[in-house]
Amino acid sequence: MPSVAIQPTFEAWQAAARLLLAEGASPDTVEWREAADAATPAAALPGGARVPRQFLDVARQAAGASDPTRWAVLYTVLWRLVHESRELLADTRDPDVRRLNGLAAQGRRETQQAEMQAVLALEQAGGGAAPFVPKGAGLDDLRAAGARCEGCDLFRRATQMVFGRGPADARVVLVGEQPGDQEDLKGAPFVGPAGEVLDRALAEVGLDRRQVYVTNAVKHFSFVERGKRRIHQTPRLPEIAACRPWLEAELDVIKPAILGCLGATAARAILGPDFRLLRQHGQFFATRWSPKTIATLHPSAVLRGQDDAEQARLYAMLRDDLRVIATAA
Ligand code: URA
Ligand code: SF4
């Protein structure tokens, strides 16, 4: 039986699973082992099997559980999705699907606990970006100081800190999640594919991007390498907490009339962990940063829509919420 050693991360499992799938290795012939020093296989062949996005989401959560059998469960479900039915996850009474869902729930719980502990440890140690943020500084001095931030580990691998961009007297501030690959290279927010979607929607509702201040909740790019590509990784709570002093300093300077959160990460950072984007988008709430704080979809979510119809629906949601901002501005 082939024994596959992987580092205990979702990305390492995914890379190994793709290779096994391409080789046609059925789940009952594979034994998974965890090894901290295992090599992650290089990029799997492009054009590999497409699996439903829902599986990737649930699998990522399950990978966060401490149960050592999770890798085998993940591979079994992946195999069955590809060889049996793409609709397998809808069968919630299927024993493999139940185990997967149970592991995902455990993973969510454990990840949340670990993140809370990391945030508390950060606060107790006086860590994060706070020591790097000059008190009472304007945007130019903040940006210059940002280049030296070592408030979390993200600065080590990214090209540069991507500070917000726009006028200090902007009435509208938009907060995204974190720079992507293009932003990391160019040093400005929303200048890649997500930025194109944002620009199009802003233009459609008559908001001039040059008059809007655009920034991110986390200011260094975070990624995993897959072959030559750098795949964006959603920032974790400790990184959001570490980077928060920069965002607060920007908002203190600008004092926006309207503060728009693009996506769940920014919404959680500003409107709190209980905020539910799909239910509460497009409505104003008062926060300590702006009497009119509002959240909408992240432009990248539009690009991730499964087909043209889905993308059009998501785009309309983003645009209509931005129109609420434009009208109030
Ligand atoms: N996604 C973001 O959240 N921010 C950017 O700047 C680019 C992509
Ligand atoms: Fe500092 Fe934020 Fe970069 Fe972390 S992500 S190093 S806190 S600027």
pLDDT in tens, 154-168: 999 999 999 999 999
Q: Is the CB of 215 under 6 A from ligand 1?
A: no
* Identity at 262, one-letter amino acid code: L
Confidence of residue 114 (pLDDT cuts 50, 70, 90): confident
pLDDT digits over 186-236, tens only? 999 999 999 999 999 999 999 999 999 999 999 999 988 887 888 888 898
Distance from residue 233's CA to the centre of ligand 2 (Å): 15
240 lines ligand 2 (CB under 6 A): no
Task: Tell me how far the alpha carbon of residue 300 lies from the centroid of ligand 2, in angstroms.
Answer: 22
Q: Quote the CA–CA distance of 3 and 214 in Å, as a whole number.
A: 48
pLDDT of residue 45 exceeding 70: no
Place of tokens 């454990």: 110
**Residue nearest atom 3 of ligand 1, based on CA coordinates:** 177
Query: Does 124 score more than 90 pLDDT?
Result: no
> How confident is residue 49, by pLDDT bands cut at 50, 70 and 90?
low
Going by C-alpha positions, the residue among 117, 96, 18, 112 that lies closest to residue 61 is: 112
Question: Which string of DSSP letters, residue by residue, matches 69-121?
Answer: THHHHHHHHHHHHHHT-TTGGG-TTSHHHHHHHHHHHHHHHHHHHHHHHHHHH
Measure 12 CA to ligand 2 centroid, in angstroms: 25
Q: What contacts 24+ positions apart, CB below 8 Å, involve 46-50? A: 48/18, 48/21, 48/22, 49/18, 49/21, 49/82
User: Per mean pLDDT, which range of 2-16, 47-61, 69-83, 207-221 is the poorest?
Assistant: 47-61
**Residue 231 to residues 216, 227, 238, 303, Cα–Cα distance (Å):** 18, 10, 20, 15
| Three-class secondary structure of residue 294 per DSSP | strand
Looking at the domain 132-328, which fold is it?
Uracil-DNA Glycosylase, subunit E (3.40.470)
Q: Is 80 exceeded by the pLDDT of residue 273? A: no
Distance CA 286, CA 294 (A): 9
Ligand 1: does its nearest atom lie under 6 Å from the Cβ of 250?
Answer: no
Does ligand 1 have an atom closer than 6 angstroms to the CB of 266? no
For residue 114, give both structure tokens: 């670990």
CATH 3.40.470.10, the chain: domain bounds: 132-328
Q: Does residue 104 register a pLDDT over 70?
A: yes
Average pLDDT of the residues of the chain: 92
SS3 64: coil
pLDDT bracket for residue 42 (50, 70, 90): low
What percent of the chain lies above the pLDDT cut of 70? 97
- The answer, yes or no, to whether residue 43 has pLDDT greater than 70, is no
Q: CA geometry: angle at 89 spanning 84 and 94, to 5°?
A: 80
Residue 299, ligand 1, Cβ within 6 A: no
User: What tokens does 224 get?
Assistant: 């995993």
For residue 237, name the pLDDT band (cuts at 50, 70, 90): confident
Task: Name the packing angle between helices 10-23 and 70-83 (round to 10°).
Answer: 40
Alpha-carbon span 261 to 177, nearest angstrom:
9
Distance (Å, whole) CA 39 – CA 28: 23
- Can you tell me which atom of ligand 1 is nearest the CA of 298? 3
Rg (CA), the chain: 21
Q: How far is CA 105 from CA 52, 57, 102, 235, 275, in A?
A: 19, 12, 5, 20, 19
User: 41: which DSSP letter?
Assistant: P
pLDDT value, residue 120: 77
